[in-house]
């Protein structure tokens, strides 16, 4: 998806306000549009022996547990797709492994056939070595997911996009090529591990807000896997891709299908059976209501290149020019000439114009096209491609990039830029690529381009004014017509919300100071109207966040700032949609804001006493021009501590809500769980917050303290005041994802979720210089609070986290062993010398801050860890910095000092865990660890209860020697795929 469309989607629905557009602009990877984070179904391969590598050490004795096998499961997968009108149904699990907002819709399964099938799968799963958590946890994870929702451009219909639950491990085992920072499924010629929808239902949205009966899309092949659902601009057709896994192992490549929304009938777009979609980068886009531009696999393409048995020569990299090139620990990079050829084979696309009547016209030469963006007036297409020379040290987003303007029928109008290879982008925050960037069409014009050019060479350390300049120019400028300077910025450009010739909002920000500004400009005014600052604030100060402007859809399908008129009032009003952060928690709001005077009127606000309700979308934007305040209509999501999210239509002037969904409670067995947002203080005076969860029916005065699981993720701040601000709402529904710590509420644990762990560096001080000190102080305050409340047993408090949270957990066991009885660390990094060119929010190198790198690394303090620690890691981790080697080496260091530790390597899993087999086993490992070292909490911590070891040891006698051998060896890791997390702030790859 192009960044403009991503930004518009998020702004339009204001899923959260955009107080820091820079972060949004630089954080959203293009893979957002390609459903590339999940899995594909495939025929079951032969069982793979010993896919898990488990290493355990109990009191200086290494005891391997089991050998595991790959097996078939009937789990389902979730999905995502590309279109503006997607409404999230709370199905996203946070990166840190904490709370999601509930990805399941029901924990009961009334179908006896399905229950029997699940039992059979579970029996096979256990027989092959994977383990199952207790039923009270398993039932929650296995519940079916909610559908995703999408509104039509005219807001008169809703799609229910149906999904599966967790995929079987066999899907993750499908072969994939790791090339240039991405992972490719060669059989499908798509990103690997793609999720999919299983069906599409269409509902009419009646005038009274009720939904009509479902109309199912028909004509699809049995077992169709649906991706990239997109509305035509007139709302009459849907386009999407379909793939089917063939029994005869023939191609399961994607084909474009279209469906008539009125009849629900679907058909293939291409008459030829030999035309397939190439979705490695982009896929297809509506050029107009009857034509799509499709990325196809070239018909002339042959078989993939074969890797030579004998290399043509040594692999050589040179820096004889003495260039300063600092790169992150990117994964899945190209390694040699063969990889370069293989990357070109799969990524090369032939663009094709395809009409609904079946006519097909190839346009342009085959190339690696990464994005296609039609102009609002449908006359031009902005085409981006990448080309050689490639790089072995950075991913494909930094390869040489060419941007051209084509006519809608494929004629090249002009070349905007051809950017060279960008290996030398500094690692400093706010550093970007040299040359033109963020090139896109203005949403308020038929065919006018805009872009940004840095004036500091892309290096944030260079002091210069201005730092960025925004330009605009017609698609086909007149002879000698130069680009117009739209605005100059002293901070880093962060995006534009277009309105019309009299109004646009420009965002800039600077991470080092956390400063963010919003400018008001008049992009087309002939008068000399100077830009002015509308908001100038700290991005950390959530209490001062004014909200972000709501966008309306134009007839051309673009999104611009919604202007609102009041009767007998000449003012220019916009709608600001905000989270409404307060010391009591978030109270979302909608303000009517006068751009000229700055006056605001609160026209809607969430019920702060019981409910948490947010504005999701503007529903009254079907007509051009200004919106009348008395005809305003919005879509909201509403939830409470015990009521899961439902969607409502709220209409003016009476503002009476009309409920349009009625999703069942996702886990009724935890419907009466207790949730409280608590506040407490760190010893240095910093205010901290956390969400305290207690099991249903629990009474501290009668039941006494419980075992407690603390799960968190540190964050960096520049001020104590900002660090102490409350984020989140006490009324939000307790969403539970498949690996959420909240699952242990079903096991009668107290769960302290997300206690703030602020690492503060005020003034010239860097936050990480006192990382350990502040980390321990925050943990001490959290532990003291749950003990003071009488809900946690002093000697039965466990610490856990995922990714940077795992790093936190390991450090706390090393430096605060008095606080916790055991720890769980998933997919973390433990030795910062292995990420020498910065990590997380640290942009100094190892050589600039050697002491910080060493003192922050729990690897260097492995000899201090005396409490039991469980390490879990995906074998195919593709996140920069968290190579699987991090857990391997940390475990060896722990073992070398006799620490009670266990390492579980999940085959085929990436940074987050996807397969049902893996997730169930992770939950079993975690529950076993907590029951053994937290609930029982033997002071000796040597013996494992027989009930815990019965399933672990059976059937392993013939494999223990192999597992021990694997445990003692040092693995050679393949390069793995980059996932843009915090690191994408540091450079604009696209």
Looking from the CA of 121 toward its CB, the CA atoms found within 13 Å total 21
Q: Are strands 750-753 and 706-711 parallel, antiparallel or unpaired?
A: parallel
CB atoms within 10 A of CB 435: 18
Burial of 977 from C-beta contacts in 10 A (0-12 / 13-18 / 19+): buried
> Rounded CA gap, 512 and 495, in Å?
18
The dihedral over CA atoms of 834, 837, 839, 841, expressed in degrees to the nearest 10, equals 160
Q: Which residues pair with 256 in a beta bridge?
A: 241
Options 35, 192, 252, 803, the catalytic residue: 803
Is 444 catalytic? The answer is no
By C-alpha distance, which of 399, 307, 394 is closest to 347?
399
> Rounded CA gap, 506 and 20, in Å?
11
CA 948 to chain centre: 35
What's 421's DSSP letter?
P
Q: Are strands 551-553 and 559-561 parallel, antiparallel or unpaired?
A: antiparallel
Number of H helices, E strands in the chain: 15, 51
Give Dmax over CA atoms of the chain in angstroms: 85
Positive/negative CA dihedral, 292, 293, 296, 300: positive
By C-alpha distance, which of 670, 805, 690 is closest to 733?
670
Options 84, 911, 918, 984, the catalytic residue: 911
| C-alpha separations of 601 from 515, 574, 592 in Å | 26, 11, 5
360-367's contacts with Cβ under 8 Å and 24+ in sequence apart are 360/270, 360/271, 360/272, 360/275, 361/409, 361/410, 363/293, 363/406, 363/409, 363/410, 364/406, 364/410, 364/412, 366/298, 366/300
Is 877 catalytic? The answer is yes
| C-alpha separations of 673 from 631, 643, 745 in Å | 40, 11, 8
> Rounded CA gap, 458 and 904, in Å?
42
| C-alpha separations of 576 from 247, 522, 591, 604, 629 in Å | 53, 19, 5, 11, 14
Burial of 478 from C-beta contacts in 10 A (0-12 / 13-18 / 19+): exposed
> Rounded CA gap, 985 and 627, in Å?
36
Q: Which residues pair with 681 in a beta bridge?
A: 687
State the DSSP H helix or E strand holding residue 171, giving kind and residue range, or none if neither: helix 169-172
> Rounded CA gap, 789 and 345, in Å?
62
Give me the sheet containing 225-231, strands edge to edge.
225-231, 237-243, 255-260, 266-268
Q: Which residues pair with 826 in a beta bridge?
A: 802, 872
| Residues 389/400, Cβ–Cβ less than 8 Å | yes
> Rounded CA gap, 813 and 808, in Å?
9
Is 207 catalytic? The answer is no
Burial of 704 from C-beta contacts in 10 A (0-12 / 13-18 / 19+): exposed
Q: Are strands 284-288 and 215-216 parallel, antiparallel or unpaired?
A: unpaired
At a CB cut-off of 8 Å and minimum separation 6, what does 192 contact? Answer: 36, 40, 174, 176, 177, 183, 184, 185
Give ∠ CA 344-347-350 in degrees, rounded to 5.
Answer: 105
Give ∠ CA 216-221-224 in degrees, rounded to 5.
Answer: 80
Options 96, 621, 877, 917, the catalytic residue: 877
| Residues 645/637, Cβ–Cβ less than 8 Å | yes
Burial of 492 from C-beta contacts in 10 A (0-12 / 13-18 / 19+): buried
| Residues 951/132, Cβ–Cβ less than 8 Å | no
Q: Which residues pair with 498 in a beta bridge?
A: 504
Annotated catalytic residues are: 803, 877, 911
């Amino acid at each position: 998806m192009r960044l403009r469309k991503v930004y518009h989607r998020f702004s339009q629905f204001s899923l959260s306000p955009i107080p820091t557009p820079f972060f949004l602009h630089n954080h959203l990877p293009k893979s957002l549009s390609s459903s590339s984070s999940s899995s594909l179904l495939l025929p079951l391969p032969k069982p793979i022996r010993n896919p898990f590598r488990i290493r355990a050490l109990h009191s200086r004795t290494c005891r391997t547990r089991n050998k595991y096998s790959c097996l078939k499961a009937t789990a389902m997968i979730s999905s995502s797709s590309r279109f503006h009108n997607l409404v999230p149904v709370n199905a996203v699990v946070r990166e840190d492994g904490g709370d999601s907002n509930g990805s399941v819709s029901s924990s009961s399964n009334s179908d006896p056939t399905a229950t029997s099938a699940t039992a059979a799968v579970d029996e096979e799963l256990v027989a092959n070595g994977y383990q199952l958590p207790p039923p009270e946890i398993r039932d929650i994870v296995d519940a079916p997911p909610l559908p995703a929702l999408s509104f039509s451009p005219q807001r008169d219909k809703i799609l229910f996009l149906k999904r599966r639950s967790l995929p079987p491990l066999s899907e993750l085992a499908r072969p994939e090529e790791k090339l240039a920072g991405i992972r490719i499924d060669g059989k499908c010629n798509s990103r690997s591990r793609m999720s999919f929808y299983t069906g599409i239902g269409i509902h009419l949205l009646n005038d009274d807000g009720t939904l009509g009966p479902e109309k199912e899309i028909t004509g699809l092949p049995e077992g169709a896997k649906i991706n990239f659902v997109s509305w035509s601009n007139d709302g009459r057709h849907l386009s999407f891709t379909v793939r089917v896994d063939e029994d005869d192992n023939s191609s399961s490549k994607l084909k474009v299908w279209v469906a008539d929304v009125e009849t629900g009938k679907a058909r293939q777009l291409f008459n030829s059976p030999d035309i397939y979609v190439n979705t490695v980068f982009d896929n297809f886009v509506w050029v107009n209501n009857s034509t799509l531009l499709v990325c196809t696999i070239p018909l002339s393409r042959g078989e993939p290149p074969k890797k030579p048995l004998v290399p043509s020569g040594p692999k050589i990299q040179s820096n004889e020019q003495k260039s300063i090139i600092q790169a992150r620990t990117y994964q899945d990079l190209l390694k040699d000439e063969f990889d370069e050829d293989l990357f070109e084979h799969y990524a090369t696309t032939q663009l094709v114009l395809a009409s609904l009547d079946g006519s097909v016209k190839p346009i342009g030469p085959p190339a690696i096209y990464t994005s296609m963006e039609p102009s609002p007036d449908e006359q031009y297409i902005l085409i981006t491609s990448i080309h050689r020379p490639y790089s072995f040290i950075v991913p494909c987003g930094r390869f040489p990039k060419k941007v051209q303007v084509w006519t809608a029928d494929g004629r090249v109008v002009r070349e905007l830029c051809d950017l060279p290879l960008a290996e030398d982008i500094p690692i400093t925050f706010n550093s970007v690529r040299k040359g033109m960037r963020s090139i896109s069409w203005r949403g308020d014009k038929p065919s006018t381009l805009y872009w940004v050019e840095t004036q500091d060479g892309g290096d944030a350390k260079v002091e210069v004014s201005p730092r960025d300049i925004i330009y605009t120019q017609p698609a086909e400028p007149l002879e000698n017509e130069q680009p117009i300077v739209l605005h100059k910025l002293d901070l880093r450009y962060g995006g534009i919300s277009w309105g019309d010739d009299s109004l646009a909002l420009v965002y800039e920000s600077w991470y080092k100071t956390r400063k963010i500004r919003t400018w008001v400009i008049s992009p087309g005014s002939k008068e000399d109207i100077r830009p002015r600052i509308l908001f100038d604030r700290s991005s950390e100060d959530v209490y001062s966040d004014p909200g972000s402007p709501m966008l309306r859809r134009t007839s051309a399908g673009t999104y611009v700032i919604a202007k609102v008129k009041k009767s007998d009032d000449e003012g220019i009003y916009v709608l600001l949609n905000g989270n409404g952060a307060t010391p009591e928690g978030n109270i979302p709001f909608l303000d009517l804001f006068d751009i000229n005077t700055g006056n605001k009127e609160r026209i809607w606000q969430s019920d702060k006493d019981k409910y948490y309700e947010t504005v999701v979308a503007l529903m009254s934007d079907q007509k051009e021009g200004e919106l009348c305040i008395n005809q305003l209509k919005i879509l909201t999501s509403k939830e409470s501590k015990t009521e899961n999210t439902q969607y409502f239509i709220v209409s003016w002037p009476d503002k009476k809500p009309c409920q349009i969904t009625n999703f069942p409670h996702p886990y009724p067995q935890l419907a009466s769980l207790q949730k409280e947002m608590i506040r407490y203080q760190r010893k240095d005076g910093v205010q901290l917050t956390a969400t305290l969860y207690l099991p249903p029916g629990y009474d501290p005065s009668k039941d006494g303290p419980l075992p407690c699981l603390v799960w968190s993720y540190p964050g960096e701040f520049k001020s104590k005041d900002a660090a102490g601000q409350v984020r989140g709402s006490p009324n939000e529904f307790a969403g539970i994802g498949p690996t959420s710590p909240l699952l242990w509420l079903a096991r009668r644990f107290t769960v302290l979720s997300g206690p703030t762990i602020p690492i503060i560096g005020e003034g010239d001080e860097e936050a990480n210089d006192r990382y350990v000190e502040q980390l321990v102080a925050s943990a001490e305050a959290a532990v003291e609070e749950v003990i003071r409340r009488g809900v946690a047993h002093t000697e039965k408090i466990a610490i856990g986290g995922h990714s940077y949270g795992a790093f936190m957990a390991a450090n706390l066991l090393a430096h605060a062993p008095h606080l916790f009885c055991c720890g769980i660390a998933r997919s973390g990094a433990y030795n910062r010398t292995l990420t020498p060119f910065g990590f997380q929010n640290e942009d100094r190198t190892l050589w600039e801050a050697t002491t910080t790198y060493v003192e922050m690394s729990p690897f260097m303090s492995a000899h201090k860890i005396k409490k039991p620690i469980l390490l879990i890691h995906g074998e195919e981790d593709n996140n920069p910095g968290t190579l699987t080697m991090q857990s391997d080496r940390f475990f060896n260091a722990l073992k070398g000092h006799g620490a009670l530790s266990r390492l579980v390597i999940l085959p085929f899993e990436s940074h987050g865990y996807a397969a049902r087999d893996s997730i169930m086993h992770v939950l079993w490992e975690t529950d076993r660890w907590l029951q053994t070292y937290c609930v029982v909490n033997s002071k000796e911590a040597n013996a494992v209860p027989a009930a815990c070891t019965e399933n672990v040891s059976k059937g392993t006698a013939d494999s223990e020697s192999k597992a021990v051998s694997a445990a003692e060896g040092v693995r050679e890791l393949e390069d793995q795929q980059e996932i843009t997390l915090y690191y994408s702030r540091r450079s604009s790859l696209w």
